[in-house]
Structure 1
């Protein structure tokens, strides 16, 4: 059903290989995971390397399946090079937001490609806002832009209430990266899809307002 692009295959392969290395080698895992204290001491490689480590096979599988479904939409619209720019920039955006919100929590650690993958997801939705998405627990198709807005609103809720062992801030930061860079790469969206551009910006504006008013924590 899907003819995966070689770039997507390489990224998935890198995630699988590095994640399994981390599963088997705890020292490797600890050396390259996202950790606030280590990053603030100068180990900046963790901002990048942590995006290829995962907690377990389920975590890895969920991220790679999500990438599998949304990567081709971005590659088709923007090309391989721009897809890679969005992927890796979203990974860093996600970790930067995590670092900002947890800068004083030296023990805070995280791993996973979620920031990068969420950036690709949000980019794909911005490029094809009326795409139909199907969820296991919802019997009808969901418009892409509705899913994207709902996902980020839930991420804000998760950040505010620290729900689960999930890096909601990394997801949100990745989405901001995917959104912003897609608009830079395809500014014509401001002309052709301004309404969707505005709608998809709403959660970002809400996060900013909550932060500025001190209501995020």
Structure 2
């Protein structure tokens, strides 16, 4: 087993520090998360990067960092630190730009997490290491990495169109495509030695990208389950909590405007102090 690379370790530590700060400081969290309106209207482009270091909870953080660790061990030593750094951040930004395009008409859409960057590492590994296999935690089952990649792409395309599970499939798909394209640039020979899996991954991905640019109405799919079932991801929980806190704050401020601060109960004063941090 390869030891963890210095850059991978640094990225995990950086993600941990920023996530800790964000989970304990809502203002910090809100300032650096991905937000369509803030990026497109206020030109706050740093969010395309900073949002990738925030996570909604420690489970979200652990899942992304474990995947980062598993797929970075051979990759960092094979391509070197500078190229690994380019791959990581290009995939992160690429995934977020794709999400920005998909949700450009949803000004309140927000997101967080390193999923785009991690997906880029996964797809680059699939391209650069043809014989690679992917195992499942706690299960002695392994499948070819390329088969996982194809299934991942098809599921992401379906997820973007149906919007059934509220997972940020567009970030995963965008980051993954960028990662695979960078892998091809780094080692063009894989187009001959590993051409079939790469073609099977790229053709549906690029075709889908072309169609949504030329015919965006294809994204509109009636989902029979959307009105009866809603599954929340960590990003959705963050958005829901944010809206709930804002509603609480608005109610307290409205009471102050009507009756004055002295009319607040002790519980309301404590809540006001908490929400104002």
With structure 2 as the length reference, what TM-score do the two structures score? 0.74
Describe the shift of the 1:165–1:22 C-alpha distance in structure 2 as closer, same or farther (beyond 3 A): farther
Alignment partner, residue 165 of structure 2: 164
Which structure has the greater CA radius of gyration? Answer: 2
Contact 2:153/2:201 (8 A) holds in 1: no
Whether 1:148 aligns to 2:149 is: yes
Partner SS for 2:143: strand
Offset at residue 186 of structure 1 (A): 1.5
Q: Distance in 2 between matches of 1:89 and 1:11?
A: 14
Residue aligned with 2:16, SS = helix
2:29 match? 29
- 3-state DSSP of counterpart to 1:215: helix
Greater mean deviation of Cα atoms: 139-148 or 111-120: 139-148
For residues 132-163 of structure 1, the C-alpha deviation after alignment (integer angstroms, 9 at most, x for no partner) is 11124865311000001111211111111113
> Quick check: 1:81 aligned with 2:82?
yes
Cα distance in 2 for partners of 1:53, 1:208 equals 27
5 Å-filtered alignment, 1:32-181, equals 32-40=32-40, 41-136=42-137, 140-181=141-182
Q: Which runs of 5+ in 1 are unaligned?
A: none
Give me the whole-angstrom Cα distance separating, in 1, the residues matched to 2:207 and 2:140: 29
Q: Does 1:9 align with 2:12?
A: no
Say what the alpha-carbon RMSD is for the aligned residues: 1.7
In the alignment, the residues of structure 2 paired with residue 163 and residue 88 of structure 1 have an alpha-carbon distance, to the nearest angstrom, of: 28
**Across the two proteins, how many residue pairs are aligned to each other?**
217
Higher relative contact order, structure no. (Cα contacts within 8 Å, ≥ 6 residues apart):
1
Q: CA deviation at 1:192?
A: 2.6
Change (3 A) 1:216 1:114: same
TM-score of the pair, normalised by structure 1: 0.93
User: Per-residue CA shift, 1:77-104, capped at 9, x if unaligned?
Assistant: 3111111111000000000000001111
What is the CA–CA distance in structure 2 between the aligned matches of 1:12 and 1:93, rounded to whole Å? Answer: 20
Q: Distance in 1 between matches of 2:151 and 2:197?
A: 14
SS of equivalent residue, structure 1 residue 208: helix
1:210 and 1:216 in contact (8 A); partners too: no
1:215 and 2:211 correspond: no
